[in-house]
Amino acid sequence: MKKTILDFNRMKDAGERIVFLTCYDYLTAKYQERAGVDMILVGDSLGMVLLGYDTTFPVTMDDMIRQSQAVRRGAPDTFLIGDMPYMSYQVSDEEAISNAGRFIKEALCDCIKLEGAGVDILSRIRAISGAGILTMGHIGLTPQFAGQLGGYKAQGRSADAAIKLVEQAKRIEEAGACSILVEGVPAIVGREITKRAEIPILGIGAGSYTHGQLLIYADMVGMYDNFTPKFVKKYADIGGELQKAFTAYSEEVRAGSFPVDAEHSYKISDAEAEKFMEILENQ
């Protein structure tokens, strides 16, 4: 049965860890749901993982909606979060509400996520959750703000910066977020944010104390090899397996050794085959 925000709050209170993965396509979603993943994020990281961009900046709302729909078809019974892409919410509360609404209406998502912690972001969180849409905040290493952060670097590594993150988390909670994703911070910072939170705190590269853990699925199964962050643990080498399979197939096709056996060909009865050849020969 699909978990709701009430289940996640209960899990937080009971100390049960929330399992969270990104996903961008129908097939992978099916495997994640079968594995019992609690929450799926259709992250704007699809720009890099699925579309081959160097950053998430070019990702559009239409990209996000199409892939969220595919994930929903693969995982009909999993709590699904749509990630607001660059410039889908920065301009105004009105635009943010209408783009957040597309995730719910067109892709049947349960929640949306948006990055950042400035005054305008708090206003967007108030507006979107005020419109009745579950809203997950995202602080720490927020890729859409990489320019202002001076690159894709771990955050909260000085006492002042760490305090700022603890304060941001509280403000986001007060603005009405249903949960917060904390990315790329020292474990002690993840721990102190989590301790003070009344809502579930999910972490990616934020240590082991958060209420749940997120990884980008293509990193943890060894598919995305352009860059692997320090916090990623590899649970499989699917990239290596794909490479082996594609190479073996190429070799067999070139050598004429696939397909040869009866197992991989359609059959025709001897009588029909004989008749077929006879017709051809008499033409």
By CB under 6 A, tell whether 216 contacts ligand KIV.
Answer: yes
Q: Token digits for 252?
A: 């067999």
Q: Token digits for 51?
A: 């579309």
Q: Rounded to a whole number, what is the largest CA-CA distance in the chain?
A: 90
d(CA 222, CA 156): 28
Residue (26 or 231) nearer to ligand KIV, CB = 231
For residue 71, the minimal CB distance to ligand KIV (Å) is 12
In the chain, alpha helices (H): 5-14, 26-35, 46-49, 61-74, 93-107, 119-130, 146-149, 159-175, 187-196, 217-220, 238-255, 270-281
Backbone angles phi, psi at 182, to 5 degrees: -115, 125
Residues 6+ apart with CB under 8 A from 10: none
The residues with which 22 forms a beta bridge, in sequence order, are: 41
Across 134-173, b (16+ Cβ under 10 Å) vs e yields bbbbbbbbbbbbeeebeeeebbbeeeeebebbbebbebbb
Size of interface with ligand KIV, in residues (CB under 6 A): 11
d(CA 264, CA 261): 6
For residue 55, the minimal CB distance to ligand KIV (Å) is 11
Residue (199 or 204) nearer to ligand KIV, CB = 204
Residue (47 or 176) nearer to ligand KIV, CB = 47
Residue (41 or 112) nearer to ligand KIV, CB = 41
Among 199, 204, 206, 221, interactor with ligand KIV by CB under 6 A: 204
The residues with which 39 forms a beta bridge, in sequence order, are: 20, 79
d(CA 96, CA 86): 11
Residue (40 or 175) nearer to ligand KIV, CB = 40
Which window, 7-15, 42-50, 86-94, 234-242, contacts ligand KIV (CB under 6 A)?
A: 42-50
Closest residue to ligand KIV in the complex (CB): 43
Among 38, 44, 110, 173, interactor with ligand KIV by CB under 6 A: 44
Which window, 37-45, 97-105, 153-161, 169-177, contacts ligand KIV (CB under 6 A)?
A: 37-45
Which window, 29-37, 43-51, 165-173, 257-265, contacts ligand KIV (CB under 6 A)?
A: 43-51
Which window, 38-46, 97-105, 223-231, 270-278, contacts ligand KIV (CB under 6 A)?
A: 38-46
Give the residue numbers annotated as catalytic, written as ranges: 183
By CB under 6 A, tell whether 219 contacts ligand KIV.
Answer: no
For residue 41, the minimal CB distance to ligand KIV (Å) is 6
For residue 124, the minimal CB distance to ligand KIV (Å) is 16
Residue (102 or 255) nearer to ligand KIV, CB = 102
d(CA 259, CA 210): 51
* C-alpha separations of 187 from 94, 190, 192, 246 in Å: 36, 5, 9, 40
Q: Binding pattern to ligand KIV, positions 152-191, x when CB under 6 A?
A: -----------------------------x-x--------
Residues contributing to the site for ligand KIV (CB under 6 A): 22, 41, 43-45, 83, 181, 183, 204, 214, 216
